[in-house]
Amino acid sequence: MKTRYLRPSYQLPEIYLYREPIDFRKQANGLALLVELELGHNPFTGALYAFTNRQRNKIKCLMWEDNGFVLYYKALAEEKFKWPSPSDELMSLTGEQINWLLDGYDISLLKGHKTLHYDAVG
């Protein structure tokens, strides 16, 4: 896999995916206000919040880091992100899963191959 330099850390303890599309004119303070008022979370805890636009071709990630907000923005040239369908639930992700999403994988599956159990070969 290619090395990525500007990506969320795999060790981030809290990552949340906001499933509804947002107005992408919102910048860091507008997104922080959304986190605070709509989700009831404190945007200053260091948790990362991921948002997408209606076309699903852009992602913004917001995170507080010591003395200011970090705003990560990625816009795809041709494709769309595989965003989980909207619901009232705020989806919790791992650092690995947010990076899968940024790479184009469908994280709504959130599972690998099924585990098989057999008692005998023949």
- The mean pLDDT value for 66-76 works out to 94
The residue that leads in pLDDT, 113 or 64, is: 64
The predicted-structure confidence for 72-114, as pLDDT tens digits, reads as follows 999 998 989 888 887 767 889 999 999 888 888 888 776 555 6
Could you tell me the pLDDT band of residue 36, with boundaries at 50, 70 and 90?
Answer: very high
Q: What is the pLDDT at residue 42?
A: 97
Highest mean pLDDT among 5-19, 49-63, 107-121: 49-63
Residues 6+ apart with CB under 8 A from 81: 52, 56, 57, 59, 101, 104
Global pTM value? 0.83
Residues 6+ apart with CB under 8 A from 61: 8, 48, 49, 50, 51, 70, 71, 72, 73, 98
- The mean pLDDT value for 4-16 works out to 86
Asked if pLDDT for residue 122 goes beyond 80, the answer is no
